[in-house]
């Protein structure tokens, strides 16, 4: 089996910065046609450059919490590349929660952003994958990879909403994997922890002391770069992972192996 994604068409959400951008760039470098999707149109234009007809990088800007925006994203991808083979749900949000505040809306907001956006886009794209595969009797029809976090298993009171949304995303991954298996569409997730995502960068700007705490409680002793996640996502997207579905791959430098009391997830 090959780990190649050359010639495949991928939609990567959250692709204007951080982890999503690293994955989208990596896919393009490996020969895939990539639709970079995000709300930040200025950043997308800067990262993708001119939208030439022959280019393998295009971008789409919009709020993917809106169903019409999702439909327009899929249409733009089909107009540019004629098909879609891979979906990477990388659009994520974090915000603090107050577990004792009855008016705190963080759980609802993060479930909508981190769970429902990924679920609805997966449903929409899966239907297209099934339609375009009519007459294809064998081989992979499509692959979906969700970006999750070790916060689904290791949490902190201020991360209530984020942790709940990540745990829900993990279970959605398993459920959709079973539902789409008869269609030969695989669904997996990557749960990362000690990785320099855009949200972690913002956190460390405000709380620089967290860096030493994370490094001290990560067996490999460092925070990973976003590029280190991209290879794992490529594997899960490729036919080399053809018998892998419903799995949550943990990439955290060994952090979840330690005592959870000593190593809260940031």
pLDDT tens-digit readout, 113-127: 999 999 999 999 999
What pLDDT is attached to residue 203?
82
Taking the domains of the chain in order of start, what are their residue ranges? 9-257
The CATH H-level (homologous superfamily) assignment of domain 9-257 is NAD(P)-binding Rossmann-like Domain (3.40.50.720)
Q: Indicate if the pLDDT at residue 230 is higher than 50.
A: yes
pLDDT tens-digit readout, 203-229: 888 888 889 988 998 999 999 988 899
Specify whether the CB–CB gap between 28 and 58 falls below 8 A: no
Q: How far is 104 from 120, CA to CA, in rounded Å?
A: 25
Q: How confident is the model at residue 251 (pLDDT cuts 50, 70, 90)?
A: very high
Q: Other C-beta atoms within 10 Å of 183: how many?
A: 14
What pLDDT is attached to residue 156?
85
pLDDT tens-digit readout, 21-72: 999 999 999 999 999 999 999 999 999 987 777 789 999 999 999 999 999 9
End-to-end CA distance of the chain: 37
What pLDDT is attached to residue 197?
78
Residue with the larger pLDDT of the pair 135 and 259: 135
Which H helix or E strand runs over 179? Answer: helix 160-180
What pLDDT is attached to residue 260?
62
181: three-class secondary structure by DSSP: helix
pTM, two decimal places: 0.93
Specify whether the CB–CB gap between 114 and 94 falls below 8 A: no
What pLDDT is attached to residue 180?
98
pLDDT tens-digit readout, 34-47: 999 999 999 999 99
Q: How far is 56 from 143, CA to CA, in rounded Å?
A: 19
Q: Other C-beta atoms within 10 Å of 7: how many?
A: 10
Q: Give the residue-averaged pLDDT of 3-16.
A: 97
Q: Give the residue-averaged pLDDT of 116-139.
A: 94
């Amino acid at each position: 089996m090959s780990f190649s994604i050359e010639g495949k068409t991928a939609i990567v959400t959250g692709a204007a910065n951080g982890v999503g951008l690293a994955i989208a760039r990596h896919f393009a470098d490996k020969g895939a046609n990539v639709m970079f999707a995000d709300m930040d149109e200025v950043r997308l234009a800067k990262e993708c450059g001119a939208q030439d007809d022959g280019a393998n990088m295009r971008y789409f800007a919009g709020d993917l919490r809106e169903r019409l925006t999702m439909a327009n994203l899929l249409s733009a991808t089909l107009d540019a590349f004629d098909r879609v083979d891979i979906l990477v749900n990388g659009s994520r949000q974090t915000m603090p929660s107050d577990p004792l505040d009855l008016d705190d809306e963080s759980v609802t907001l993060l479930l909508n952003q981190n769970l429902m956006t990924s679920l609805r886009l997966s449903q929409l794209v899966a239907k297209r994958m099934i339609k375009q595969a009519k007459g294809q009797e064998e081989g992979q029809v499509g692959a979906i990879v969700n970006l999750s976090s070790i916060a689904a298993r290791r949490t902190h009171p201020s991360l209530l909403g984020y942790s709940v949304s990540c745990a829900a995303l993990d279970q959605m991954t398993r459920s959709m994997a079973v539902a789409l298996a008869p269609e030969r569409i695989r669904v997996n997730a990557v749960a990362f922890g000690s990785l320099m995502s855009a949200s972690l960068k913002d956190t460390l700007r405000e709380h620089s002391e967290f860096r030493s705490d994370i490094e001290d409680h990560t067996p490999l002793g460092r925070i990973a770069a976003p590029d280190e996640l991209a290879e794992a996502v490529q594997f899960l997207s490729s036919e080399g992972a053809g018998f892998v579905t419903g799995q949550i791959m943990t990439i955290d430098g060994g952090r979840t192996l330690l005592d959870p009391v000593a190593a809260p997830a940031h």
